Amino acid sequence: MKRNLYILALVATVLVSCNQEPTLQKYYVENSDSKEFITLDIAPNIINTDSLELSADEKKALESLHKFNVLIYKADSIDKSKYTAEKEKVKNLLKTDQYEELMKVNSADGGFSISTKGEGEHIEEFVVFAHQQESGFGVVRVLGEDMTPTNVMTIAGLLQKANLDMKQLKPLQEMMQKK
């Protein structure tokens, strides 16, 4: 009897702990097979640092990086309401899914925001959301473990000065041409 009670308590805990709330991760998964979206996972080795002498801080920043997730919705000139609805879903997810907005820039035809998820100096996720009425929107998730704001800025700097392995972006280029 006692064993059954423990099993029942365990099952109840598992069922209650399963979060049914919408999240950015669920949005990625739900739309990964949609023909309206382009998704791509990019390994950290896209940042080719072989020709660079990295400082200890740069090495530490790269070690905290796991991968980049890219999701792109290419705006359809026929259905602007669908574009607007999908863009609003992402904006709402970024507001409700424990993200802290660091920066936001808007203009008449587009804008972007940068948000983080994690506590203090232990960032799990760094998100760039950019949108433009004519072309669509994109969400880039930089996933890592115990990234700090300094690590994120260091990774951004390395993206600019390192040679990027463009072969990893070839599927994205091909998909953009097909649409």
Instruction: Quote the DSSP letter at residue 23.
Output: -
* Res 72: pLDDT: 92
CB 100 within 8 A of CB 115: yes
Q: Which positions of the chain have pLDDT values less than 50?
A: 4-6, 8-10, 12-17, 179
Report the distance separating Cα 154 and Cα 148, nearest Å: 10
* Res 174: pLDDT: 57
* Res 5: pLDDT: 46
Query: Of 162, 13, 93, 88, which is closest to residue 5 (Cα–Cα)?
Result: 13
Number of H helices, E strands in the chain: 6, 8
Q: How many other C-beta atoms can be found within 10 angstroms of the C-beta atom of residue 167?
A: 8
* Res 86: pLDDT: 93
* Res 12: pLDDT: 47
* Res 93: pLDDT: 94
CA distances from 99 to 9, 67, 94, 102, 141 (A): 32, 18, 6, 9, 12
Residue with tokens 């994690």: 118
Domain coordinates in residue numbering, the chain: 21-178
